Structure 1
Amino acid sequence: MATPSKQKHDTAKPTPASLGISTMKPKFQQYALPSKRHESFTEASVPWPKTSPVKVEDLVAAGLVYTGVGDSVRCYHCGGGLRNWETGDDPMEQHAKWYPTCQHVLITKGKTYIHCVEAGENPEHLSEQRPKVKQSSPDDLAFQQQQEAMQAAAEFGYSDESIRIAAGLFRERKGASSKFKGSDLVSILMEMEDDPDLALNADVLDSRSPATPLDQTESADDDLQSLVFENERLKASFNCKICLDNRADVIFLPCGHIVSCPQCAPALDLCPVCRKSIMGLVKAQFANTRIDVENDYGECDA
């Protein structure tokens, strides 16, 4: 009796790299952290050429380490070398162009970025394809920055009233339209602790609108402070737990935790949350966060 033959599937099984998953460990693990790569340029026995047309910060972000010879650099992850830099060269693009399988480029920029570079497309145009968001007015941004500075000072344990007095003192010294930072307020607050008379002579009306009743102002300040605090808490929850600077958008496999940014993730062998071995990394793409030109990319028109 004839029996049906097994159907042969021509579709090849996708590789982890084709799915945007990094599974390879760096060749030079000691340079996995950006700070260590930066030291290779700043603390080398043979200085990095001052006439180089590319910035050290861009080379570090591209995963490149200084070899100490001319302008030659090498990737900490794939080991690929690059040299003879010219004006207009983008280290990340050149890295992706000559070493498209590098896991650092894959996890930092994503496979779409690599495909665009290979196709000769300018990856910078990808950010232009993202939907536009409503931009805040300069006045709104300035107000938000001032409130964030006051919140930063509040984290040192100072009262709202003391912070408003410090803001008033800052404007008395620098001008009514001057913008302060959290460090400026903390510096003045420390002066106030040493000299209590400063607070007595300060004009705190600058930090309020004179046309607004006091009780309404205090109520609005409390509400605003609560919103600012919640906003800072949410932003901090998305920060990389290693550098505390960049956004955490790398998924550890197989545990699935999101702990670090693409720059810090390769330096880890164990997940800091569950302590399980990290077998792979994949870059997360958040659909409901603000536009990030450096990290979020659309489809390439190749």
Structure 2
Amino acid sequence: MFHPLFKQFACRMKRLESFESWKRDDICRTELADAGFVYYGKLSVVLCFTYLLTCFFLTFNLPFLPDVDNKVICYQCGCIVNDWFENADPWLIHAQSSPFCFHLYIKSGQAFIDSAREGREPFIEQPVLFAPNADRYTCKICFENEISTVFCPCNHAIACYECSAELTDENCPWFRRKLCDVIRFRFFD
């Protein structure tokens, strides 16, 4: 699923802000936000049910989740996790709970997801070092990281994982054409 369920939390800082009242100190809030999670206790959602014959808005606090102290939800796929144990790895749990999450795929890669699901030691891609003057390979959004995604169908390779995952618009940032997919890749020199 390319389009996030909770678009307002596509920005990492917004996800991190949701953990202000998180009471657990044994699980890193930054890691939870990086893995795409939002603290449920702060989540108040406005949804438009577009699949119904008439469109109406509904504001709710996800009442079907009674114990809010421990629950987080992924802004992208809606995966809900509430069984946290001490020093749990949010990335690993996210990969095991929701292997088709777009945020997870863009940020960690398919090899990581596959190894997490199979119970193997997670494969973590090492960033590729490139020459500092190689502007050609630099993300055109943040101007810091290496380009690592391609937007389809326009085939523009202009953004890093981080910037691609935080896109709130459904259009290519360069060409403004409607996107249908984002694919990860790496340069090999």
Q: What does residue 147 of structure 2 align with?
A: 248
Aligned residue in 1 for 2:34: 61
Whichever structure has more strand as a proportion of its residues is 2
Residue 58 of structure 2 corresponds to which residue in structure 1? none
1:262 aligned residue: 161
Query: CA contact under 8 A between 1:253 and 1:281: conserved in structure 2?
Result: yes
1:48 partnered with 2:48: no
Displacement of 1:241: 3.5
More helix by share: 1
1:232 aligns with 2:141: no
Distance between the aligned counterparts of 2:187 and 2:80, measured in 1? 33
Mapping for residues 155-174 of structure 1, pairs under 5 Å: none
Matches within 5 A, 1:1-150: 24-42=2-20, 47-49=21-23, 51-68=24-41, 69-124=68-123
Larger radius of gyration: 1
What letter corresponds to residue 121 of structure 1 in structure 2? R
Distance 2:156 2:148 in 1: 10
Work out the CA distance in 1 between the residues paired with 2:85 and 2:143: 33
> 1:250·1:262 contact (CA, 8 Å) conserved in 2?
yes
CA offsets 1:67-105 (integer angstroms, 9 cap, x no match): 113131100110011123222311111000011121111
For 1:243 and 1:41, the matched residues in 2 are separated by: 25
Match of 2:61?
none
What's the TM-score once normalised by structure 2's chain length? 0.73
How large is the Cα RMSD of the aligned pairs? 2.3
Verify the 8 A CA contact 1:41 1:65 in the aligned structure 2.
yes
Contact 1:33/1:264 (<8 A) preserved: no
Provide the rounded CA distance (Å) in 1 between the counterparts of 2:95 and 2:79. Answer: 11
The equivalent residue for 1:151 is none
Q: Cα 1:32–1:84, aligned 2, differ >3 Å: closer, same or farther?
A: same
TM-score normalised per structure 1: 0.48
Which residue matches 2:47? none
Correspondence for 1:272:
173
| 3-state secondary structure, aligned to 1:252 | strand
Q: 1:34, 1:264 within 8 Å by CA — same for their partners in 2?
A: no
Q: Could you tell me which amino acid in structure 2 is paired with residue 48 of structure 1?
A: W
Residue 25 of structure 1, CA deviation: 0.9
**3-state SS of paired residue (1:251):** strand
Structure 2: tracts of 5 or more residues without a match: 42-67
Among the aligned pairs, what percent are the same residue?
32
- Structure 1 unmatched runs, 5+: 1-22, 134-230, 289-302
